[in-house]
Amino acid sequence: MESRRVDQMTEEGFSDLAAARRIQRLSSHISPAFTTPPSLSQVQTEVCSSRTKKVEVNSQALSLYMRGKHMDVQEKVYEFYNSRPDLQTPIEISKDDHRELCMRQLLGLVREAGIRPYRYVADDPEKYFAIMEAVGSVDMSLGIKLGVQYSLWGGSVINLGTKKHRDKYFDGIDNLDYTGCFAMTELHHGSNVQGLQTTATFDHITDEFVIDTPNDGAIKWWIGNAAVHGKFATVFARLILPTHDTNGVSDMGVHAFIVPIRDMKTHQTLPGVEIQDCGHKVGLNGVDNGALRFRSVRIPRDNLLNRFGDVSRDGKYTSTLPTINKRFGATLGELVGGRVGLAYASVGVLKISATIAIRYSLLRQQFGPPKQPEVSILDYQSQQHKLMPMLASTYAYHFATVYLVEKYSEMKKTHDEQLVADVHALSAGLKSYITSYTAKSLSVCREACGGHGYAAVNRFGSLRNDHDIFQTFEGDNTVLLQQVAADLLKRYKEKFQGGTLTATWSYLRESMNAYLSQPNPVTARWEGEDHLRDPKFQLDAFRYRTSRLLQNVAMRLTKHTKTLGTFGAWNRCLNHLLTLAESHIESVILAKFIEAVRKCPDPSARAGLKLACDLYALDRIWKDIGTYRNVDYVAPNKAKAIHKLTEYLSFQVRNVAKELVDAFDLPDHVTRAPIARQSDAYAQYTQVVGF
């Protein structure tokens, strides 16, 4: 009797509390109390500018902050090619001529300008990527050819080989005597590297490996430097060892081997090696992509790049890593620099295209009020909508990739396992996200420049064609996003098992609790400009979305695995997983942008960055406003306020667009588009067509 009364009192108490909460929530919707939202820890919100006051931006101070300590070497690259008209790529050039020009450009950089990128691949990656960005802005084919020589071929020797390989090959790779290729992709296998079919069988009698292409599907395909210039190739093949059991052989998994493909003196193809030209491509025709077939090509045992696995003279295999999967993961982990470089280079392409389109839009005048001068097309809201969020995103991606390069450099020095895993997932996500965004933006920039944007001389066509493959090589973007999603799910599981989280993923520790609780009905209605421009609100919104996506997809995978199995469940949830990965990467990008704003020492430069950062954040929130509305994270009045403020910020960024673009500090000979010239653009443009 007594216990029943207690139960009844308890139930009544919970009922009263629930009723009180409902009344409080309802009253907050009717008459929300004003409370100043807390500021993000260690991030000081800039005081919102008056609606009538234009932000003043010191472009020189901003440029110095952005370009950092390697500005000098980039200027040296620009000055060298500007002083050599014979090394500048013309608008109209044949495939064969472009390939030869590209090789001469690279030789000039190394042997005449005295810039030796290979020396920085391992010891100073930040400087190496700065050189690569500058070189790629001169000619994207040149940037990729440099990457093939030093990041891929040279990088494989440094990262997968040992001291004997570095001693033998370093100087020749550095001075371009040993031009080389990176022969991983096969006709039938690109993303699935573990499925490669090329074999390297050990012959214990001659102490050699025999490289074979067992079928047409195993032909090495799209191999840069192979068609014309390469003398060596790092060939990825299955290491086959003879055994004395019933199987006769043992497959030790994919390893890397140095295989000479052309004679050092005559440059003739070596016996057993067949090379074909992959021909004219959509873009990057200065790079000589070829196909390689091997017919019993013998190489010394020492040509095995043996950092993670070795074969002794008597045919015994040794490795510090216990399984094929461990060795494979370690091998691919050492090659992550290619993805880092592509993400960084893609931002460079975005800077060029945004510079051309925005400078043209500031110059170009069209229509206007009756009996008044025509106005700049960048004064039209539609043009601002196309280009200003893109300009803000360019800044966001710049700081994100600078952070990525810093983490990669730290990883190369420390070889910390947690950091290796962090950089692997971060580079996969940023490479995929940024290259996809840049590819879309190139078309937007072309359209924003109307008919003049269609002229080849104004570069959008070549930039778009050359950059397009960035979405595929060094990992297909869809595959890379799945790697990010898989890593997030792994971290999610570790979180609930009490594991540690690396810095990039640390917000997940709190998010599963704080961000997944019922949205606060008070903050859901806050619509003041100070609140919407508070970094805490912006970052919380990004992370809330990621956390909900992560929790929901984890539940869906658990449910579907019971009936479809692991592979089937993953495929059923694939689009959800891709959205999760993109959301996480956007959270990382925003966090790094906010941090860059906070650290900027110059007040006027910081004000410009704050403006761009707010536009980036609110534009992304608005583009996915349905997600926030569906769970009442943002009330209708707040959604409307976000939209209005995003339009206003686009207008404000337009007012400082010239300064923000000038801060990229790209010389005219880099953009090379007459419509992007800051003075006498039309005069230069008419000269191009012969007037």
How many angstroms separate the CA atoms of 272 and 297, rounded? 5
Phi, psi for residue 222 in degrees, rounded to 5: 65, 35
Using CA atoms, how far apart are residues 79 and 320, in angstroms rounded to an integer? 48
Contact 226, 288 (CB under 8 A): yes
E strand or H helix that includes residue 199: strand 199-203
The CA-to-CA distance between both ends of the chain, in Å, stands at 104
Say how far residue 282 (Cα) sits from the centre of its chain. 21
Binding-site positions for FAD? 185, 224
Q: Strand, coil or helix: what is 192?
A: coil
CB 208 within 8 A of CB 300: yes
Active-site residue flag, 474: yes
Look at the chain and count its residues: 691
Q: Are 397 and 361 in contact, with CB atoms under 8 Å apart?
A: no
Among candidate residues 46, 186, 208, 474, the one labeled active-site is 474
Residue 565 sits at the vertex; the CA angle it makes with 562 and 571, to the nearest 5 degrees, is: 115
Closest CA to 494 of 506, 478, 477: 506
DSSP line for 206-233: TTEEEEE--SGGGSEEEETTTTTT-SEE
**Is beta strand 232-242 parallel, antiparallel or unpaired with respect to 249-260?**
antiparallel
CB-based contact 218:209 (threshold 8 Å): no
State the number of CA atoms in the 13 A half-sphere of 522 facing the CB.
Answer: 10
State the pairing for strand pair 232-242/180-183.
Answer: parallel
Gap between the Cα atoms of 14 and 623, Å rounded: 40
Between CA 134 and CA 148 the distance in angstroms is 16
Helices of type H across 31-153? 59-67, 71-82, 95-107, 118-121, 125-138, 140-146
Q: How far apart are CA 215 and CA 206, in angstroms?
A: 25
Distance CA 200, CA 296 (A): 9
From CA 144, how far away is CA 279, in angstroms rounded? 17
Which residues are annotated as catalytic?
474
